[in-house]
Structure 1
Amino acid sequence: MILTAASLLAATLLPSLALSGPLAPAGSKHNVYLVRCEPNECPIGDCDPGEFTITAAAYFRNGPITEGTTRVSTPTALGKLSGYAPKWEGIKRTVRLGTDGTFTVNIGAKAASASKGDIAGDGSLGTEPFVCFKDGTTKFAITNEGDRYTCTTDYWCPSVDASTTPPKSEMI
C-alpha cells in the first residue's frame, strides 16, 4: 500500500520535473579526446599512408565537441604523443596540454577491441580525475601548423570531478 502510494506520487511528479527546463550541469566541462588525425591533403604533395598522422590528446576546456561537425574545432590545447606509431593502450602515457598541465592516461591493454561506450581507462590533469570511454567513430576537424586535419577519436575522456566549478569566464 505504501509502495503503491509512493509510486503514484513519483509518477505524478515526473511530468512536472521534465517540463521544468534543463538543469545546470554540476562539475567540470573539461573533456580530453585521444585522437588520430590525418591530414586532409598531403603537405608535401606525395605522402606515404600515415606519414603525417598525428596521435594526440585534444583538450577542450569548455565542454565536449559537437559530434559530426564539419567546421574546424579548436582545442584549448593539443598534446602530441611521440614515437613511431604511438598507441594509447597498455602503457601509462603523459602529454603536455600547454599551460593547463600534463594529462596522464591509463588505457587498458585490451581496450582497442572494446565496444563503443565501454570504459577503457582513466586519466588525470593535475588533480582532476577523468574516465575514458572507447569511441572509434567520433570525428572532428582541426588546424595544426596551418594544415587541416580530420581527427578520429579513439577514446573520449570527460572529467568526473563534480567539485570543480568552472571559472566565471567559462560560465554561461
Structure 2
Amino acid sequence: MHFSTTVLLSLTGAALTTPVAAAALGSKKNVYLATCITRGRDCNIPILCDLLNTITTADTSSAAAETFGAVIYYDGPATAGASPSDVGILDSARAWEGAARRTSLSVGDFESRIQRGAGDLAKSQIAGTAKLGDEELICFRDGEATFLFRQGLLGRRGTSCRADYWCASIEV
C-alpha cells in the first residue's frame, strides 16, 4: 500500500489529539515517527472493520486495516488540534529501531536513526538522532502522542497514528 503526502494532507481533518510536552513548544521543528493504521477503502462501519481486521490478518488484500510508518512534520510547535506541515509515508510498518529510515518531506529529505532497543525506554528518554535536510534533530521515546486523519463522507474513513518517537530541532 502506498499513500502519498497529498492524500494524507487532503483529508478533511488532521489533528494532534494528545497534548504536547512543553519542550515541543520550544523547538523550531517537530517531527513525530509514528505507526499508523488506516481502514481499508471498503470499510465504512468501524465496528465491522475492527472485527474483520482481527479475523483476517493473514491476507492483507482483504484485511480491513493496514499498518504503515509515517513521519509527521510540524514547522514549529505541534499544538493540540493543529494540522501537520507535511507527512511522509514509509512503505511498511517496520520498526524504527536499529536501522536508518528515510522519506522525503516538502522541506527536504528526512532520515532517522533510532537506537536498537529504544522501544524499551521510558517516555522522554533520548532514543536516537535524525536529520531533516541539513538540520540535526534529537529523538526521544514517546509512545503517547496520537494523530487522527479523517476522510470521506462525514469523516467515516480514517487513519490513526501513535507517535513512537518525537524528534526536535537542536537549534532552539
Q: TM-score range by the shorter chain?
A: 0.5 to 0.7
**Aligned partners of 2:32 and 2:79: how far apart in 1?**
9
**Alpha-carbon deviation of 1:43?**
3.2
Q: Which amino acid aligns with 2:124?
A: G
State the SS of the aligned residue for 1:154.
strand
**Aligned partners of 2:146 and 2:100: how far apart in 1?**
24
One of 71, 74, 79 as aligned partner of 1:65 = 79
Assess if the C-alpha contact under 8 Å between 1:34 and 1:156 holds in 2.
Answer: yes
**Aligned partners of 2:137 and 2:151: how far apart in 1?**
25
Aligned residues: 129
TM-score, normalising length: structure 1? 0.65
Question: Whose strand fraction is larger, Structure 1's or Structure 2's?
Answer: 2
Long gaps (5+) in structure 2: 1-24, 44-48, 58-64
Aligned to 1:48: 53
Assess if the C-alpha contact under 8 Å between 1:36 and 1:151 holds in 2.
Answer: yes
**Aligned partners of 2:135 and 2:96: how far apart in 1?**
20
When the two chains are superposed, the root-mean-square deviation of aligned CA atoms in Å is 2.5
1:100-123 CA distances to partner (integer Å, 9 max, x unpaired)?
Answer: 111111000110111111000000
Assess if the C-alpha contact under 8 Å between 2:35 and 2:164 holds in 1.
Answer: yes
Aligned to 2:28: 29
CA shift in 2, pair 1:115/1:82, >3 Å: same
CA shift in 2, pair 1:96/1:118, >3 Å: same
State the SS of the aligned residue for 2:53.
coil
Q: 1:4-153 residue pairs with structure 2 within 5 A? A: 29-39=28-38, 41-45=39-43, 46=49, 47-48=52-53, 51-66=65-80, 71=81, 73-83=82-92, 85-97=93-105, 99-143=106-150, 147-153=157-163
CA shift in 2, pair 1:144/1:30, >3 Å: farther
Q: Relative contact order: is structure 1 or structure 2 higher (C-alpha 8 Å, sep ≥ 6)?
A: 2
Q: Which amino acid aligns with 1:43?
A: R
**Aligned partners of 1:60 and 1:144: how far apart in 2?**
20
**Aligned partners of 1:102 and 1:143: how far apart in 2?**
26
Bigger radius of gyration among the two: 1
**Alpha-carbon deviation of 1:79?**
0.7
CA shift in 2, pair 1:143/1:54, >3 Å: farther
**Aligned partners of 1:144 and 1:103: how far apart in 2?**
26
**Aligned partners of 1:65 and 1:125: how far apart in 2?**
20
Report sequence identity in percent: 33
**Aligned partners of 1:144 and 1:158: how far apart in 2?**
29
CA shift in 2, pair 1:76/1:143, >3 Å: farther
**Alpha-carbon deviation of 1:149?**
1.9
**Alpha-carbon deviation of 1:144?**
6.7
TM-score, normalising length: structure 2? 0.65
